[in-house]
Structure 1
Amino acid sequence: MSAPASARPAAPSYAAVLRVPHARRTFATALVGRLSYGIVPLSLLLATQRATGSYTASGAVLSLYGAAVVLLTPRRASLVDRHGARRALLPLGVAHGLLLGVLAALTWRPGTPVPLIGGAAVLAGACAPPLGPTMRAVWSELLADRDLLRRAYSLDGVAEELLFVSGPALVGVLVAWTVPAAGVLSGAVLMIAGTAAFVTSPAMTGPRPRTGDEGRLGGVRSLVAPVAVAAGAGLAVSGVELLVLAHVGEHSGDTDLVPWVLGALSVGSALGGLANGAIDWRGPAGPRLAGLAAALGLTIAAAGLAPGVLTLTAAMTCAGAFIAPALTTAYLLADESAPASDRTRAGAWVNMAVNAGSSAGGVSTGALVGHLPLPLCFALTGATALASAGVALASGRRREPAAV
């Protein structure tokens, strides 16, 4: 895929990103499809529980769906690199949407066997189109200026954060008026419509030519730092969600405050992402990535010492300020390291690391809560991000990354 590159403006800004030809249309349609990922998981969880009457079954179905989405992301992204977005994304988006429709039908009323729902969930997850990695690869093609590209990635990350916050809220509205399976069906419609509109953008063309050593992602080492930090951040953030619940319950007993505390984490991430894009970074991205991961880990560890809910909320805002910048920098490093023919797949590996870390973080942290003091649980959770910072630094000593 190729598109006109932007000239470097006198004062790069988020507005300058959206003024690039085809940027607004491409970005908006990608977000329509990506909203499905914010709606479907909770809808599927609620719909399966209603259809089976079992929390165990609903959790198992959601895990199967999530595993298929996450673990096969690089494989699906490689199809986009090899065959082009138009030829690869649309069949995936349509197949995914139709299978979500099947899931909605299976869970609309009680009585469907759990194995049937689980099988449909695996098939649906296996076809999920990599809209996020593809959009980031498109940004890289649209914007030759690395400062503008960083702003585009920051804007993309903040928008994605808002989608995953607003998605469950939309599910809550739907559930108040109809059955949870309607949320799964809504996700299907959003996915098919968004993907179809996305691939018709003029920014989309055919596959990139592959020559020489391309297809090897620039070597395994080139992705060690971004993948490690993405996984560490995913582990830490998902663990924090459970720790916040335990902390609020221990210090106030009012768990209704938990969404507000976690909301502060999201607000901090959005503000940090916007600030990261606005800052004119001049140093290499590798040390910056390690520094952001270390700051995230230290802030989470310190949050365990919060004496009350108010101070915990402030600590979560501070911790959130490092999440989006760390992930944005990880995606930028992956893009910089990969050959043009593998940009989508490189970003997909980072995306997979975030989601895999998020899936594992809640489980590992849950094993600690109740067995260790809460401040120590916070410290150990923060240590995962600190460890990823160490991996990033060690990787950077072996291979000096470009500044982005």
Structure 2
Amino acid sequence: MSSSSTDPSYAAVLRTRYAARTFGAALLGRLSYGMVSLSLVLAVKEATNSYAVAGTVMALFGLTSVFLSPARAGLIDRYGPRRALLPMATVYALLLTGLAFAASWSGSSGVLLGVLAMSAGASTPPLGPVMRALWSDLVPDTRLLQRAYSLDSVAEELLFVTGPLLVGLLVRVTVPSVGLAVSAALVLTGSLALTSSPAVRREGDQKKVSAAAPAPSPGLVHAVKPASPRRRPLQGRPGLGQAIAVSAGVGMCLGAFDLLVIAFADERHDPEAVAWVLAALSAGSAIGGLIYGAVPWRASARLRLSCLAAVLGLTLATTGLSPHPYALIAWAALGGLFVAPALTTAYLIADEAAGPAARIQAGAWVNTAFNAGSSGATAATGLLVGRLPLPLCFALAAAPAVLSAATALNRSRRPAAVTIALPERERTPDAGQATLNG
């Protein structure tokens, strides 16, 4: 049965050939990312008895992981998942295991732990961008692809809720460094299962066919002018800049929001409210992602992304006016409804803009923008809390999401020249098949 004739539902996505197997393998590996941060902080704190060292090691790990993500994704775009992803995952797992071993000894050197953490962060396999690129090949029907991306975003949200809970269970029965070892085992097992999937083998074969026969397919929009051979794979891609800008804005908004929630709870002497507010945000995101993926939208993806970012920012800005933690929980749940849909749309736009040759790298840039924005905003917000009224801090934290939406709207009105062949996804349900066959 062709994808175009399949009912657009989440069940149809998972019934697609190889989809459930490939998605399950990717989720197994990505569960490692939900566990590794908390495991690393707890393990280093126990080994060095220093929160400062633990925070520094975690920052080194996070920075190298985030900012080198596009470069790692570019290697996978160039050499394919089987040749690049598996060695990357193996090195990452070995370094995490070494880090777990080093952190299991009391009095371990903070310098050694920092070097191991930086090395592990530099080799973190981009399983999320790889899976999102595979969705484009597994589900070429645009109607199903939206649901696939929504399902992926919701599942990732739940992994980052489940991961810390598993770490909490582990530290009850063993030392925190075991969490690092489990993270290493998960990412290696998941990567092995992912690269052994027939979908990955088929994707690699199609790249070979594409390289051997570069003639454009009928389903491709031809270039206005030929691209320079020296042009970077993502240079001049219409829509990709918008996706990156909005993703960074949303990341800044959420990174600041987490810290502001803690300040809000401290101000009202109700520290237990923090967990409920963040849980409400995650629950709202999961529900919003599932609803968003099931709706057949008529508006363009760029317009939808602008609206989602603007509404998200305005909603979270309003939370600062909450008179009571219960009101904050309600506003957080409402704002969460727009988180997964915004990220889903950003990944869809990046996928459409990039094409097969740079699809993983494009998704990695969106992911990097979100994480970098989140980290930077958390640090900046820490300087503002205590110096400005909390309602004003909430409004300032929401500004990047709203401003990124305005930029996106402005860009969507400008016709962008196409510099290389791009898949014509929105013209026909089967247009993705042209990309698939290269």
User: When the two structures are superposed, what TM-score results if normalisation uses the length of structure 2?
Assistant: 0.88
**TM-superposition CA deviations, 1:98-134 (whole Å, max 9, x none):** 0000000010121211111100111111111110000
Rounded Cα–Cα distance in structure 2 between residues aligned with 1:98 and 1:399: 48
Show the 5 A alignment for 1:1-400. Answer: 6-9=2-5, 11-205=7-201, 206=204, 208=207, 209=210, 213=227, 216-217=233-234, 219-251=236-268, 253-399=269-415
Q: Which moved more, 1:354-363 or 1:144-153?
A: 354-363
Q: How much does 1:238 deviate?
A: 1.2
Q: How much does 1:78 deviate?
A: 0.8
Asked if the contact 1:225/1:391 (under 8 Å) is kept, the reply is yes
Rounded Cα–Cα distance in structure 2 between residues aligned with 1:215 and 1:29: 31
AA partner of residue 201 (structure 1) = S
**Structure having the higher Rg:** 2
Q: How much does 1:403 deviate?
A: 7.8
Asked if the contact 1:223/1:334 (under 8 Å) is kept, the reply is yes
**TM-superposition CA deviations, 1:361-399 (whole Å, max 9, x none):** 211111111011111001011111101111211221224
Asked if the contact 2:35/2:163 (under 8 Å) is kept, the reply is yes
Matched residue of 1:255: which SS?
Answer: coil
AA partner of residue 325 (structure 1) = P
Q: Which moved more, 1:56-65 or 1:198-207?
A: 198-207
Q: How much does 1:247 deviate?
A: 1.3
**TM-superposition CA deviations, 1:187-242 (whole Å, max 9, x none):** 00001111001100000132724667485226255311100111011110111111
Change (3 A) 1:239 1:199: same
Q: How much does 1:39 deviate?
A: 0.4
Rounded Cα–Cα distance in structure 2 between residues aligned with 1:152 and 1:390: 27
Asked if the contact 1:284/1:403 (under 8 Å) is kept, the reply is no
Rounded Cα–Cα distance in structure 2 between residues aligned with 1:194 and 1:399: 42
AA partner of residue 91 (structure 1) = P
Asked if the contact 2:252/2:374 (under 8 Å) is kept, the reply is yes
Change (3 A) 1:202 1:262: same
Q: How much does 1:323 deviate?
A: 0.5
Asked if the contact 1:130/1:348 (under 8 Å) is kept, the reply is yes
**TM-superposition CA deviations, 1:244-276 (whole Å, max 9, x none):** 11112223x120221011100000000000011
Rounded Cα–Cα distance in structure 2 between residues aligned with 1:312 and 1:64: 33
Matched residue of 2:323: which SS?
Answer: coil
> Unaligned 5+ residue runs, structure 1?
none
Rounded Cα–Cα distance in structure 1 between residues aligned with 2:2 and 2:271: 49
User: When the two structures are superposed, what TM-score results if normalisation uses the length of structure 1?
Assistant: 0.96
> Unaligned 5+ residue runs, structure 2?
215-225, 419-423, 427-438
AA partner of residue 373 (structure 1) = P
Aligned to 2:434: none
Rounded Cα–Cα distance in structure 2 between residues aligned with 1:273 and 1:180: 33
- Identical amino acids, percent of aligned pairs: 52
Rounded Cα–Cα distance in structure 1 between residues aligned with 2:178 and 2:189: 16
Change (3 A) 1:399 1:65: farther
Change (3 A) 1:329 1:383: same
Asked if the contact 1:9/1:16 (under 8 Å) is kept, the reply is no
Q: How much does 1:10 deviate?
A: 5.4
Matched residue of 2:4: which SS?
Answer: coil
